[in-house]
Structure 1
Amino acid sequence: MLKYILTFLISMVPIVELRCGIPFGVSMGIKWYYAVPICMIGNMLPVPFIFFFARKILEWGSDKPVIGKFFSWCLKKGHSGGEKLKAKAGKGMFWALLLFVGIPLPGTGAWTGTLAASLLDLDFKKSILAVTLGVALAATIMTIASLLGVEAFIAVKG
C-alpha cells in the first residue's frame, strides 16, 4: 500500500510530477495499468488550485522580505514564458499548452503549464482540457519509457 501512496504523492510534486511517479511506481513493482491512473490523478489534483490561487499567492508574496525575490522571479518567469508560448502559438494556444505539458522535458508539466495559463488569463475549461490531455500524453511517453527501461535493466542484469 505504501508504494501506491508514494507513487501518488511523487506525482503531485512540482517539476517531477508523473514524469518520476510512473517510473518510480513501475520500478516498485506496480503494474503500469495501475501506476498510470494513480499518477495522472496525483498530477491533476493540484491543477485547479494552481489555476485559481497560485497567481494570487505569488502576487501577495512578491513584496515580502524572505520570499519576495523568489515569488517575483516566479511571476516574471511564468509571465515571460507564457508570453513566448502565446506569441509562437498564436491561435493554436490549446495545442501549444497541450504539447508543453505533454512533452516530458525539464521545466514543463502540469504545474508550469497551468501557472502559465493562469498568468495569461486563458479560459479555465480549455486550459484544464489541454493540461489533462498533455498529462495523458506525458503518461503515455513515460509509461513506454519506463517499461522499456525496466525490460532493458532486466536484460542487462540477467
Structure 2
Amino acid sequence: MDWYSLFKVFIMSAIPLTEQRAAIPIGIIGYGLNPIATMIASFLGSLLPVPFVLLCFNAIFKWMKGYEFFKPLTNFIENKLQKNTGKLEKYKEIGLITFVGIPLPTTGLWTGSALAAFLGFDLKKAFICNALGGIISAVIVTAISSLFPAMI
C-alpha cells in the first residue's frame, strides 16, 4: 500500500477547496489507490477540521468583520451562509446531513460545520451530522471515481 499517497489524500481532504470531491478522484484515478482505502483516508481527513470550525468559526468570523481588509471575504462567507440557512433551519439535522452529503461545490464539511456553528447547532449533533454527511459524500464520490476509469 502506498502510504505516502494515502497521506496526501488525507491532507487534500482537510483543505477547504479540495475536500473529498477532489481528493478521492485524485487518489483513485491519479494515484491508482484502492478505492476503499482512499475513501477511508479521505473521510478521516475531511473530519479533521470539523471540531475546530465548529468551535472557532463564530469567534473568528466576528473578529474578521471588525476589519475592512477582510470585508470582501466576510461578505462572501455571509452571502453563502445566508443562502443556505433557510433550508437548514427548516430541516435541522437531516438538512445538514443532506447538505454535506451531496458532493457539489461549497457543500462539504467545512461549509456544513460553518453553517452549524452559525446556526448554533449543538456541538455533538453538528459533528455527528457532518460525519454522516461526509460518509454519504465519500461513498458517492468513490463510486463515481471508481466507475470513471471504465468510461475513458
The two structures share one fold, judged by TM-score above 0.5: yes
Q: 2:9 aligns with which of 7, 10, 17?
A: 7
Alignment match of 2:42 (pick from 39, 42, 46): 39
Q: In the alignment, what sits opposite 2:151?
A: 152
Distance 2:45 2:13 in 1: 5
Cα offset, 1:74, TM superposition: 1.4
Amino acid at match of 2:57: A
Give aligned-pair identity as a percent: 30
What's the CA shift for 1:69? Answer: 3.1
Cα deviation, residue 82, structure 1: 4.5
1:57 counterpart (49, 60, 65): 60
Asked if the contact 2:16/2:110 (under 8 Å) is kept, the reply is yes
Gapped regions of structure 2 (runs ≥ 5): none
Larger C-alpha radius of gyration, 1 or 2? 1
Structure 2 Cα separation of the partners of residues 49 and 115 of structure 1: 10
Q: TM-score if structure 2 supplies the norm length?
A: 0.90
- Sort the Cα spacing of 1:50 and 1:2 in 2 relative to 1 into closer, same or farther, 3 A: same
Per the alignment, in what secondary structure is the counterpart of residue 69 of structure 2? coil
Aligned length: 149
Aligned partner of residue 66 in structure 1, secondary structure: helix
- 1:137 Cα deviation after fit: 0.3
Aligned equivalents of 2:7, 2:132: Cα separation in 1: 23
CA RMSD of aligned residues (A): 1.5
Q: Distance between the aligned counterparts of 2:10 and 2:89, measured in 1?
A: 35
Report the alpha carbon displacement of residue 52 of structure 1 after superposing the two structures with TM.
0.7
Deviations 1:97-151 (A, max 9, x none): 0010001111101111110000000111111111101000001101110010022
- Aligned equivalents of 2:54 and 2:84: distance in 1? 14
| SS class of match (1:3) | helix
Runs of 4+ in 1 over 3 A off after TM superposition: none
Preserved contact between residue 59 and residue 71 of structure 1 (Cα < 8 Å): no
